[in-house]
Structure 1
Amino acid sequence: MSLKSLIKNILSMAQPKRIVNANFTFKNEKTYMADKIVLVTGGGSGFGFAIAKRFVECGAKVIITGRNEKKLESAVKSLGHNVSYLVWDLCDVSIAKTKMNEANAIFGVINVAINNAGVWTPKKWNDIDEAEWNKILDTNLKGLFFICQAEGEAMANTNATASKIINITSIEGTRGGFGPYFASKWGANGITRGMAKALIKNNVVVNAIAPGMALTDINPNLPKDGNLSLPYNLNERYVTVEEIAETACFLASDAANSIVGQVIVVDGGMALN
């Protein structure tokens, strides 16, 4: 190699480089989560599907829920063995405890619950009507509260090690905003902290994951070409569903038993801008 080429290579290595691509090498131990029976709401797509997939890869038994049975059937077929589904509309809070009992009858008593189901709207605050407000708050906040209530009662003091409730909220629950989605996610983060205080004495640990702008089908404005670049994040890319799934697995593990009532922000530095 010439001196000129060597200097060029050294200078190139010295330049700071942004992380604009995400390459993942995950652990694939088949027994990492073998003692876990996991409930994932909204498990038919997006974060929920990725979370279910990761737990299955690590040996857990998984039940996914949602309102669309065909979507759930397709997801279960893709996920493979040790997976089942339960049609469950979280907005019907009257059935929460009944459905929780049904879920517990599939593989045994659930010891990890990932509350991922949620809805969003692209409408501006001044275009929101009462029906849309109710739809978002009924799913993201009221539905969340009553499923957490059912999970907390069913899990109380049932395991030698801690049971886990993990709520998928949003970075929007930590920032100022005007509209039902912001309100629902602020409430979801608050419920997480309050439930953590109430349930820890029953050996149930509650936390939340708050994703930033992510590559999920809930956002119709995401790039269709797979481009991860996102200039206003400090790492200049979108959050991926795999990152949220891996965070959920960590919080579900015994390594996280002393993490209680936290909202873990996974946003590529978006909140710091």
Structure 2
Amino acid sequence: MGSSPADTIPPERLAGKVAVITGAGTGIGAATARRFAAEGAAVVLTGRREEPLHAAAEGLGERALCVPADVTDAAAVRGVRDAALDRFGGLDIVVANAGGHGVGAATDVDDAAWQRGLQANLNSAFVTARETLPELRSRHGCMVMVSSIAGLAAAPEMCGYVTAKHALIGLTRSLARDYGKDGVRVNALCPGWVRTPMADAEMDELGRLHGIGRQEAYRLATKDTPLGRPAEPEEIASIIAFLGSADSAVMTGTVLVADAGAGAVDLPTLAFTP
């Protein structure tokens, strides 16, 4: 059997680093906070809901600080940044993981829903980047943008989400080009299906359509991927930790895909699959 990400954590690879993680209360964000702390980093967990943040930080001790904030608001992000500076003395890594919203085909999406999708998935990352870049520039830090395979191809009836996640890759490349000269690296990660509360809700909806349970829905959603399964949040967190570490020192403007091989599949040949 292969090793799990928890079995292969490099000792203290992120020692002395300070990270801000948005959307840190659940799923990928919470797993990333745990992974960073395990690798020696101090972590600032932020998100709109206070209770999940504290649950995610449980057991991390003095290496973790919870700062509830809406990261689409510039003043709130500055508050998160300042909390990191006051508590830990600096800021080296920013993980822009907050997201959500953006469901519906174009003719079903009103102006308010469109703006919610952009705010949650694109503006949150842009505002977080803009307000933390001065500190990242001063410490030659890095940023990881959590996009999605929806940033590379279109899912059905997800117009706002797909558009924002595509734009997030453009933002990654723009930041990488403009601030590489200052020693700042910016990379994007595009996960496929990951077992998170948001994905669980989507699987429950898929299950209702087919009269099956959540686990069967995950199997249905991933049956045509080469690995045939969703990722666990910890598996995605291990990739984010790599992008935040010196092991990826020559990488910037890069888009990494972690989709169980979905993007390698030639869709028109699925009919020939035994």
For Structure 1 versus Structure 2, the TM-score category normalised by the shorter chain is 0.7 to 0.9
Match of 1:73 in 2: 54
Q: Which segments of 5 or more consecutive residues in structure 2 lack a partner in the other structure? A: 204-212, 266-274
Provide TM-score, normalisation by structure 2. Answer: 0.84
Match of 1:270 in 2: 262
244, 250, 259: which one aligns with 2:242 = 250
Higher helix share: 2
CA distance 1:145–1:103, change in 2 (3 Å): same
186, 190, 196: which one aligns with 2:166 = 186
Please give the alpha-carbon distance, in whole angstroms, between the structure 1 residues aligned to 2:35 and 2:79.
Answer: 27
Residue type of the alignment partner of 1:262: T
Query: Cα offset for 1:214?
Result: 1.4
Residue type of the alignment partner of 1:192: T
Please give the alpha-carbon distance, in whole angstroms, between the structure 2 residues aligned to 1:97 and 1:58.
Answer: 26
1:114 match: secondary structure: strand
Please give the alpha-carbon distance, in whole angstroms, between the structure 1 residues aligned to 2:187 and 2:172.
Answer: 6
CA distance 1:59–1:164, change in 2 (3 Å): same
Structure 1 range deviating more: 106-115 or 76-85: 76-85
Match of 1:153 in 2: 134
How many residue pairs get aligned? The number is 251
Match of 1:97 in 2: 78
Residue type of the alignment partner of 1:271: G
Residue type of the alignment partner of 2:179: L
Q: CA RMSD in A?
A: 2.3
Q: Which segments of 5 or more consecutive residues in structure 1 lack a partner in the other structure? A: 1-18
Indicate yes or no: 2:225 matched with 1:233: yes
* Equivalent pair of 1:86/1:103 in contact (CA under 8 Å): no
CA radius of gyration, larger in: 1
Provide TM-score, normalisation by structure 1. Answer: 0.84
Please give the alpha-carbon distance, in whole angstroms, between the structure 2 residues aligned to 1:121 and 1:140.
Answer: 8
* Equivalent pair of 1:156/1:204 in contact (CA under 8 Å): yes
37, 40, 44: which one aligns with 2:25 = 44
Structure 1 range deviating more: 240-249 or 117-126: 117-126
CA distance 1:200–1:95, change in 2 (3 Å): same
Cα deviations by residue, 1:111-136 (Å, 9 ceiling, x for unpaired): 01111011135544443222211111
CA distance 1:65–1:192, change in 2 (3 Å): same
Please give the alpha-carbon distance, in whole angstroms, between the structure 1 residues aligned to 2:165 and 2:50.
Answer: 26
